[in-house]
Every structure is written in C-alpha cells, then in structure tokens.
Structure 1
Amino acid sequence: MNRNSFLAATASLPLFILLAGCAPMHDTRQSLTQQTPSSHVDSSLPAALKNGWPDSQWWKAYHDAQLDALIDNAIQHSPDMQVAEQRIQLAEAQAKAVEAQDGPQLDFSADIERQRMSAEGLMGPFAITDPAAGTTGPWYTNGTFGLTAGWDLDLWGKNRAEVTARIGAVKAREAEQEQTRQLLASGVARLYWEWQTQAALKNVLMQIEHEQQNVVAVNRELYQHGITSSVEGVETDIDASKTQQQLNDVNGKMKVIEARLSALTNTQSAALKLRQVSLPAVESQLPSQLGYSLLARRADLQAAHWYIESSLSSIDAAKAAFYPDINLMAFLQQDALHLSDLFRHSAQQY
C-alpha cells in the first residue's frame, strides 16, 4: 500500500511542476513611486481668482443701469428671498438659544400667591386660625424670591458640539440664501438679454420689411407700365408676408419675456418700459484654466458642506450625551407663608 502511494506521488510530480510554471509571477523588485511632498504642491490660485473672480455681483460688469435695477428689484421683492431670510433668522435664534445654555447660568425668580386652604385637604390644619399653632387660615398670601445658579461642566463637549451644529445650520441657510440670490440674478439677466436679442432682431426685420415694401412698390410701377410680369410681384409680396409673420413672432416672444420678467421682479408688464441697448464691452477676468477648485465657490455646494458639518457635530453631541457628566447647582431663596415674614432670616432656604 505504501508502495502504491509512493508511485502515485511520483507520477503526479510533473503535473505540479507544470501548474507552477503557469502561475503568474509578480516583479517584486519594482520600486515604489515616489509621492510628491505636500510642501512642494503648487496651491497658488490664478491671478483672476485672487482678484475676486467670480464676483458675487457679476452683472455689474455689464454697466447697464436698466439690468441692475431689474435684478435689485427681483432680489428685494422675491418671496423666495424673504423665505430664505426668515430661515436664517430662525437658525440664528436657535443657535443663540443653544449657546445661552453653555457656561454658568444664573436665574432670578419671584412669586406672590394668595390662596384659600381647604379644611378637608392635606393642608387642612392651615385652614383654621390657631395662634398656638401659628396658623391664620383659611387665607394666606405667601411669597418666594431668590437666585438659582447652575453650571454644566460639559466634560465631553456635548454643549459645544450642539453650538457648532447650530452655527453650521446658520451658515448653510446663508449659503442657500446666496444660491437663491444668484438664481434670481441669472434668471433676470438671461431673460433681459433674450429680450435685447429679440429687440435687435426686430430692428433687422423692420429694415428688411421696409426694403421689401420698396421693392413691392417698384414692381407695381413696372407692372403697370408693362415692363415686368405679375409673377415677380407676387413673389415679392410673399416674401414681405413672411417677414411680417416673423415680426409678429418676435413681438410675441418679447411679450412673453416681459411677462416672465414681471413675474420675477414683481412688477407690472406695462411698468417695465424696457429700452434697447447695445451689447456691453465686458472686461472679463476669466482665468486661463478653470480647475475643480471653483466648485467650492458654488453656493449650493457650500450649503451641502455646512449641512454635513452640522450633522457631524450633532452626532458628536449625541455620543457625548451617553457619557456621565457633572452639573453644579445652587440656590438661595426666601420663602414665607406670610409676606410679613418674607424678609426674615428664618425664611431663608438654600
């Protein structure tokens, strides 16, 4: 039996050698790629970015007072901006409320109460007048006033994390407001320049129509004198009709744009009174290279960033709440069943 096992092992030895020859080999002598030290990384911004590009009021570069007035009106009267402002105020109030709970607390309270004691209740003995017992029932006017001090040592940073979370929420709301502001400004600017484009196209079509009408008048004169046929005049009339149709389309588009601008700026269409202007000469500071770092300047991404920071701080506060903490409390009060005894030394409690 041992001899058979030895023969089987000897016979399978070439097969093992063949499989080993087919196994993939790795070059372990290859040197690791040297990483560039962080101190050698070029983190400088392009000149345009250092100069504040893109500007938050980018539309000012057009030097168009008409456009500036439209955007300012849209930002001031937009319901979205008002809602965003209310959200910021709410977030700030919540942050101040949480911040006020951090650190030592000192409260003063005072209370005066007049009540009639029930003879059948737990305080029944006080419902009767008994000079020996010191009761003058059933009516009593009792008073209390004093100071209460407390200090949560916040050993694990729970309160600090909650304050940080609220501050992150405030910054996120501010970023959302800026995003709303930029969306309004870009929407108004886009519609404004669409209107200017249609107005320029209208002027061109009106010039074409004027020339076509002159051609139609000349063709009629030539036809009346028998110089040309009526076919040429019909073709000119058809071209003039097409131009008139294009003018009607342009006028319709301009009316639609005016209605949309009125909705954004919260004004009546008749009150817009837009006038045609020439294309502006913008001195652009656009950098030669636009890297991914520009994404950090987007208001919506800033809002997402601060929401994440706020959530992480809330998680830290929730974790810290599971650890034991130390709260220091102290109070000093004056408490008396009769107001005449309220300021006596015997009425103190602490």
Structure 2
Amino acid sequence: MNRNSFLAATASLPLFILLAGCAPMHDTRQPLTQQTPSSHVDSSLPAALKNGWPDSQWWKAYHDAQLDALIDNAIQHSPDMQVAEQRIQLAEAQAKAVEAQDGPQLDFSADIERQRMSAEGLMGPFAITDPAAGTTGPWYTNGTFGLTAGWDLDLWGKNRAEVTARIGAVKAREAEQEQTRQLLASGVARLYWEWQTQAALKNVLMQIEHEQQNVVTVNRELYQHGITSSVEGVETDIDASKTQQQLNDVNGKMKVIEARLSALTNTQSAALKLRQVSLPAVESQLPSQLGYSLLARRADLQAAHWYIESSLSSIDAARPRFIPDINLMAFLQQDALHLSDLFRHSAQQYGITAG
C-alpha cells in the first residue's frame, strides 16, 4: 500500500464510523406482555361459595355462650383490632379525599387586608394622597371575595384510576382486619377447647383416683386383719401416686391455658372462671367439592388480591401523567383597594382559562 492509499483510507475512516452509527439497530429485548386492566379482573366468587362455608362466625355453630363471650371480648379489646380499625379509617379518608378531587370543583374565598404602602417601593405612587389620581395613601384596606371554579376533564382516566386504587387499599385493609379477627377467634377457640379437654381428663383421673383410694383402703383393712401381706398393697399405692401426679399436671396445664385466655381476652385484672361443658355436635359440614376457588375465602389471600388490584390501578393512574391533559378554570370576584368600593360593579372581575 502506497502513501496515497493509506492517507485516503485514513481520511475515510470518520465517514465509515458515521455510517455505522446511522445503521439500523434491532431491539433484541422481548416485549412486555400486556397486563389485564384492573377493571377487567373478575374478583367475584362462585355462587356456590357466596354466603356458604365457612361462615365468618364459625364458632357460633358450637352453640356455646361461654365461648361466644370469650371471642367477642377478645375481638373488642384487642389492640391489633383497634390498629386495624384505625388503618381502615385512614384508608377510607384517603379514598374520599381522592374521590372529592374528581369532577367540577367550586371554592369560595374572602380576604381583607390592611396595609401601608411604601413610598420607595413599586407601589410608591399609592403612598401619597392625590385626589386627581384617586390615591388616598399611605393606608389602604384591600378587600376581595368571590368564586373560583375548576374542572379537570380527566380525559385519560387518571382520577378514576386513583379512586379505584384507593378503594382497593380500603378493601385490602378490611381483609387484613378480618384476618386479625379470624386469628383471634381461632386462638381463643383452640385454647377454650383445650381447657375443656383437660377438664374432662381431670374428671376421669379423679374417678380413677377415687377407685384407687377404695382399693387402698380395702388392702389396708385386709392387712390389718392378717389376711394379706404388706407387699400386696405396694403396687396399688404406687398407682395412686402416679394418678395424683397426673392430676397435678392437668391442673397446671389448665392454669396455663387460663392465663393465656386472660391475655387474649384482656381480662388479666379479674379471675377467669370457666365451667366445663361437653363438646357439642357441629351442624356445618364440608362442601361436597373442595376446589382451589375455596381459597379465595381466606382473608389473607383477599388482602393480597386487593393490594394487587390497587397496584394495577395505580399503574393505570401513572400512565396519563405523561400525556397532556386539559383543565378548565373560571373565577368571578369582587376586588377593591378600599372596602367602600368593594360592592361596586366596577370592582368586578372574571375570567376563564384552559390549560
């Protein structure tokens, strides 16, 4: 390659780089799959599950007034339920605030201001009294009142999507409250029936202890009359001691359960008095078919469902922010530098703007 050829190749190098930069590029990324709009998501349950199993107050099927009172007391005085209620009220207030921003808005305002004009400032000519110019400075009492109207046309559905997102958050909070309610109810019911089980076991052990004491008494009488030896009554005494130990264990377990129930029902200040009842027959039965749709009745899954709905609506509300929108505004006011002129027709001002 001669010198001229080398110079020509070097001089054409920027041209090749420029052409390479202008070459069409192929996007190798996979396109995002289109999400189902939140308004098209079917959140309804099958007809067979509506108002069906399981009941939200499932413990009522036991027909036990004592259990009902314990669960009601736990739900009423639980700090977790109070926090959940406050969260629902906050979410509802936020939803109402967003919903109030949708549609036409009308505001009334009034203002009275007493001020002294500076002779050295921008409003200096108003600081002097000049009847020819209409100034009576330096003190003025400015008054303004009137109506201001605005309307965000919401051409792209941003406000509606925000309202839907807030409503979804409210429903999610309600589902969380129901989950807390069910956890409290199931915890109290489990401890209650565990206490009843221990109480029934205690009765059985007391009967066994009574029979064993009768046997011990008979063995002692036989020994005193020389009919039997002392060795024959040792095994009976050991069995009676074991039964007494089992009774002590059952009493200890019942005290622990009572303490846990007192903590759940917030009745630590008063002694918890429970009476023994027999386990009733439950009338409710399982559905004939247990499908995946039954999971939709779980409160935690309902909360997750509505959080997803709220997120999808928030995405729908974020997209229109990148698109120009149209807002209409109008005002009708009375404005005067002196209160004596505030109600004159010449003090009226009005206008309409769009942007």
TM-score (norm 1): 0.84
8 Å contact from structure 1 (residues 59, 189) kept in 2: yes
> Which stretch has the larger CA shift, 318-327 or 30-39?
30-39
SS of equivalent to 2:68: helix
TM-fit CA distance, 1:124: 2.9
* CA displacement, residues 88-107 of structure 1 (integer Å, 9 cap, x when unaligned): 11111100100110111111
* CA displacement, residues 31-90 of structure 1 (integer Å, 9 cap, x when unaligned): 999999999999999997466111111111100000011111111111111111111111
Q: Which residue of 2 aligns with 1:40?
A: 40
8 Å contact from structure 1 (residues 48, 285) kept in 2: no
Taking the aligned partners of 1:157 and 1:272, their CA distance within structure 2 comes to 57
* CA displacement, residues 140-166 of structure 1 (integer Å, 9 cap, x when unaligned): 211110111111111111111000000
CA, structure 1 residues 207+140, in 2 after alignment: closer, same or farther (shift >3 Å)? same
* CA displacement, residues 219-240 of structure 1 (integer Å, 9 cap, x when unaligned): 1112222222222222222211
8 Å contact from structure 1 (residues 49, 287) kept in 2: no
SS of equivalent to 1:146: strand
> Which stretch has the larger CA shift, 208-217 or 323-332?
208-217
CA, structure 1 residues 132+98, in 2 after alignment: closer, same or farther (shift >3 Å)? same
8 Å contact from structure 1 (residues 296, 302) kept in 2: yes
- The aligned length equals 350
CA, structure 1 residues 262+341, in 2 after alignment: closer, same or farther (shift >3 Å)? same
TM-fit CA distance, 1:18: 51
8 Å contact from structure 1 (residues 46, 287) kept in 2: no
CA, structure 1 residues 32+266, in 2 after alignment: closer, same or farther (shift >3 Å)? closer
> Which stretch has the larger CA shift, 191-200 or 110-119?
110-119
CA, structure 1 residues 28+269, in 2 after alignment: closer, same or farther (shift >3 Å)? closer
> Which stretch has the larger CA shift, 228-237 or 202-211?
228-237
CA, structure 1 residues 136+198, in 2 after alignment: closer, same or farther (shift >3 Å)? same
Q: 1:139-288, aligned counterparts within 5 Å? A: 139-268=139-268, 270-288=270-288
CA, structure 1 residues 279+26, in 2 after alignment: closer, same or farther (shift >3 Å)? farther
8 Å contact from structure 1 (residues 162, 314) kept in 2: yes
CA, structure 1 residues 84+29, in 2 after alignment: closer, same or farther (shift >3 Å)? closer
Taking the aligned partners of 2:241 and 2:300, their CA distance within structure 1 comes to 49
CA, structure 1 residues 13+340, in 2 after alignment: closer, same or farther (shift >3 Å)? closer
TM-score (norm 2): 0.83
Taking the aligned partners of 1:116 and 1:126, their CA distance within structure 2 comes to 9
**What CA RMSD, in Å, does the superposition of the two structures yield over aligned residues?**
10.5
TM-fit CA distance, 1:268: 2.9
Taking the aligned partners of 1:332 and 1:222, their CA distance within structure 2 comes to 114
Structure 2: give runs of 5+ residues left out of the alignment. 351-355
8 Å contact from structure 1 (residues 206, 247) kept in 2: yes
TM-fit CA distance, 1:348: 1.4
CA, structure 1 residues 47+249, in 2 after alignment: closer, same or farther (shift >3 Å)? farther
The answer to whether residue 71 in structure 2 is matched with residue 78 in structure 1 is no
TM-fit CA distance, 1:131: 2.2
8 Å contact from structure 2 (residues 61, 283) kept in 1: yes
SS of equivalent to 1:50: coil
The answer to whether residue 131 in structure 2 is matched with residue 131 in structure 1 is yes
* CA displacement, residues 117-154 of structure 1 (integer Å, 9 cap, x when unaligned): 23333333323322222222222211110111111111
SS of equivalent to 2:115: strand
Taking the aligned partners of 1:7 and 1:311, their CA distance within structure 2 comes to 62
Taking the aligned partners of 2:29 and 2:331, their CA distance within structure 1 comes to 75
TM-fit CA distance, 1:284: 2.1
Structure 1: give runs of 5+ residues left out of the alignment. none
SS of equivalent to 1:270: coil
Identity level (%): 98
CA, structure 1 residues 248+17, in 2 after alignment: closer, same or farther (shift >3 Å)? farther
CA, structure 1 residues 168+338, in 2 after alignment: closer, same or farther (shift >3 Å)? same
TM-fit CA distance, 1:347: 1.1
CA, structure 1 residues 113+16, in 2 after alignment: closer, same or farther (shift >3 Å)? closer
8 Å contact from structure 2 (residues 37, 312) kept in 1: no
The answer to whether residue 296 in structure 2 is matched with residue 296 in structure 1 is yes
Taking the aligned partners of 1:295 and 1:29, their CA distance within structure 2 comes to 37
